[in-house]
Structure 1
Amino acid sequence: MDKLHAMRVFARVVEVNSFTKAADTLGLPRASVTTTIQNLEAALGVRLLQRTTRKLSLTLDGAAYLEGATRILSDVEEVEASFTSARKTPRGRLRVDMPGSLGRLVIIPAIHEFHARYPDIEIMIGMSDRPIDLIQEGVDCVLRVGDLQDSSLIARRVGAFRPVTVASPAYFARHGTPKTIEDLERHIAVNYFTRTGKLMEFSFERDGVVQEVKMAGNVAVNDADAYVTCALEGLGLGQTARFMVLPHLRSGALVEVLGEWRPALMPLSALYPHNRHLSPKVRAFVDWVAELFEGCPLMQGEDIPGYDCGAEAKPKTVPVAVDSVAMDQDSACLCVM
C-alpha cells in the first residue's frame, strides 16, 4: 500500500467530511477512496473513522493519526515545492474562482499569457460572487472584491478599483441629472443585494469623508452583468467598476455623474487556504494576476475621471472565446489584454 497516498486520501476525507467529496476533489472513484481507508485501517489495526449515514467523525486513534499524517504531508509538500520552484515549472491542475465580470472582462482575455508562461498548469476557472468553502469544494484560490471576512484564509491584495456612478441618457431625460449627493433623494437606483438579501448602499468619498446613501429603487439584482444591463435599460442609477462599463462610457450608452464624489476604493484580493501557501502553481497564478493588474491604473485604484484605459493600449485583434461567445477588444479593459 502507498502510505503517502493513503495519508492524503485520509486527510482529504477528514477535511471535507465526506468520502464522495474527497473522491471528487482528488479525481478518484469513490470506491477507490473507500478501499484506501479500509486498507489503511486494516494495516494499522485500528478504526480511524466512525461512520454513520449522516456524518463522519474521528476516533481518538484517527485524531492522533491525522495529526501525524498532516505533519508528514506538509513536510513532503514543502520539499517537493522547493524542488519545483527551483525548476521554475509549476504544474498540475489549478482550480480558481472569481466574480464573473472580473473573469470575463479581465482574466480570461489575458489567460493565454498565463498558459504561455506556465504551460504545465491546467487551470479550471469558476465564476461566481457567492462565498466559497475552499476546502469543501477543492478550490485552490479565489479572487474577491471588497473587505475580507474569512480570517482563516491567507489573503494578498492584488489590486483595487473605484466604482463609478452612472446611468443612461434615457434615465437622465426622465429624472434629470443629479449634481449633488442631496439630489439623490429625488432619484432611483438599480440596487444590488447580497446572498442574505441586504441591499448595498451607494458609497461616496470626498476630501477623506465617506458618505453612504440608501437609494430607493424598483429593481434589485445579485449579478454584476445583470446590474449593468439594468442601468443600460434606464432602470436607475448604478455604481459599478469602471472596467465593467468602459465600452458603454465610450459609446455614450452610459454617462458618469457626481465625479467630485468618487465612490470609495474597493480592494481586490487573492485568498487561498494555509495548506496551499507553498504551492508553486498557486503562487504562480497570484503573482501573474498581480502583475496583470499592475498594467492598468484602473485596477490599482488610480481612477482618474475621464481616463480611458484603451487610449494608449496596443491594438489587439485576436478574439477570446468565453463559453463559445467571442469577445472582441472593445469588451474589456485594454490595458490588461
Structure 2
Amino acid sequence: MDQLLAIRAFARVVEAGNFTKAADSLQLPKATVSKLVQTLEAHLGVQLLQRTTRRIAITPDGGAYYEKSARVLKELEDIDASFSAAHARPRGHLRVDLGSSVANRLLVPALPDFLARYPDIRIDLGVSDRHVDLIGDNVDCVIRGGALTDPGLVARTIARASWITCASPGYIERHGKPKHPHDLEKTHRVVNYLSALTGRPLPMHFERNGQRLQIIARHAVGINESNAHYAAGLAGLGVIQTFAFIARDAVARGDLVEVLPRWRPRPYPLHLVYPPNRHLSQRLRVFIDWLADRFETQLEPKSPKRSSPA
C-alpha cells in the first residue's frame, strides 16, 4: 500500500465531502480513491468513513485520524515548499472564485501584471455572485465581501470598497433627487440588489453623524448580478447603491449622478479567504500579496465627482 497516497485520498474525501470531487482534485479515478481508503481502513483496523448510497459521514475514529494526519500532510508540504521555493519560481495552478464586478473591474484588468511577474502560474477564475464551497469545489481561495460567517476559514482583509448611491440624469429629470434616505421608500424608484443565495433584496445602507439606516424599498426591478444592477442604473430604471469603483467612470462622464452624498455608508471590507487545512503554497502566497497591493491601489484613487449636497 502507498500509505501516503492513501492518507491523501482519505483527507481529500473528508474535505470534499464525497469520492467524486476528491477523485477529481487528485486526478485519479473514483474507484482508485475508494480502494485507497478501503486499504487504509484495513491497514488501521478501523472504519474511517460510513458510506451510504446517498452520502458519506466521517466516524469518530475517522475524525481523530483526519485531525492528526492533516497536520502531518501539511508539515510534509511545508518541507517540500521550503526546499523548492529557494530553487524555483512560483508555479502551478490556482483556482480563484470571485464576484463579477470585482472580476471585471479590478482583477482581470490587473492580471497581465501578475502573469508577467509569475509566468509559470496558471489561473482559473470562477466568476459569479454566488458563494462557493471552497473545500467541496476544490477552490484555492475566494474573494468575499462583508462579515465572514464561517469561522472554519482563514481570511485576510485585502481592501475596503466605498459605496455610492446614484441615478441617471434622465431619472433625476423625471423624479428629482431624494433628499433623505426614507424618500426612497416613498416617492422614488430603486433597483434592488438581490441576494444570489436567498433571492431577497439586500438593504441599502446609509450613515450620517453616527446615525445608521437600512432601507429596503419596494422595487419594480431587482437584480442578483452586480454588472446588470449597474446597467439598470445607467438605463434610468431607478436609484442604485453600488461600489464606487463600479460607478466611478460613469459619474465622471456624467452618465450617473451621486445622490444623498452626505449619507455615505462606511466602506465594505473585501477579504481573501482560503481553507485552513490547505497548504498555503508559494503560488497562493504571492497571489495574496500581489492582490492586496493592487486592490489597495485601485480602490484608493481620486474620489468620484460629487454633485451638490442633497
* TM-score, with structure 1 as normaliser: 0.82
Q: Distance in 2 between matches of 1:215 and 1:47?
A: 54
Residues 293-322 of structure 1: CA distance to partner in whole angstroms, max 9, x if unpaired? 1223xx25x773428xxxxxxxxxxxxxxx
**What is aligned with 2:296?**
294
**What is aligned with 2:204?**
202
Task: Give the partner amino acid of 2:18.
Answer: S
1:26-45 matched pairs, under 5 angstroms? 26-44=26-44
Q: Distance in 1 between matches of 2:17 and 2:52?
A: 12
Q: Unpaired segments of 5 or more residues in structure 1?
A: 308-337
Q: Unpaired segments of 5 or more residues in structure 2?
A: none
Change (3 A) 1:77 1:177: same
1:275 aligns with 2:282: no
Instruction: Check the 8 A contact 1:162/1:266 in 2, yes or no.
Output: yes
Q: Distance in 1 between matches of 2:242 and 2:88?
A: 38
Compute the displacement of 1:55 (Å).
Answer: 2.1
Q: Distance in 1 between matches of 2:3 and 2:182?
A: 68
**What is aligned with 2:245?**
243
Change (3 A) 1:88 1:203: farther
Change (3 A) 1:48 1:232: same
Compute the displacement of 1:81 (Å).
Answer: 2.7
* Local SS of the residue matching 2:261: coil
Task: Give the partner amino acid of 1:92.
Answer: G
Instruction: Check the 8 A contact 1:94/1:123 in 2, yes or no.
Output: yes
Q: Distance in 1 between matches of 2:128 and 2:34?
A: 32
1:304 aligns with 2:303: yes
Change (3 A) 1:304 1:36: same
Compute the displacement of 1:92 (Å).
Answer: 1.9
* Local SS of the residue matching 1:37: helix
Q: What is the aligned-residue identity percentage?
A: 47
* Local SS of the residue matching 2:247: helix
Q: Distance in 2 between matches of 1:89 and 1:120?
A: 7
Instruction: Check the 8 A contact 2:230/2:240 in 1, yes or no.
Output: yes
1:249-264 matched pairs, under 5 angstroms? 249-264=251-266
Compute the displacement of 1:42 (Å).
Answer: 4.9
Change (3 A) 1:150 1:64: closer
Task: Give the partner amino acid of 1:69.
Answer: S
Instruction: Check the 8 A contact 1:159/1:290 in 2, yes or no.
Output: yes
**What is aligned with 2:154?**
154
1:51-70 matched pairs, under 5 angstroms? 51-59=51-59, 62-70=62-70
**What is aligned with 2:229?**
227
Change (3 A) 1:44 1:109: same
Change (3 A) 1:236 1:8: same
**What is aligned with 1:311?**
none
**What is aligned with 2:114?**
114
Q: Distance in 2 between matches of 1:170 and 1:142?
A: 37
**What is aligned with 2:8?**
8
For the aligned residue pairs, the C-alpha RMSD in angstroms reads 2.3
Q: Distance in 2 between matches of 1:31 and 1:177?
A: 64
Residues 230-280 of structure 1: CA distance to partner in whole angstroms, max 9, x if unpaired? 112211100111221233223322211222221331111111111236322
* TM-score, with structure 2 as normaliser: 0.89
Task: Give the partner amino acid of 1:13.
Answer: V
* Local SS of the residue matching 1:93: strand
- Point out the more displaced range, 18-27 or 195-204: 195-204
Instruction: Check the 8 A contact 2:9/2:33 in 1, yes or no.
Output: yes
Q: Distance in 2 between matches of 1:234 and 1:274?
A: 44
**What is aligned with 1:285?**
287
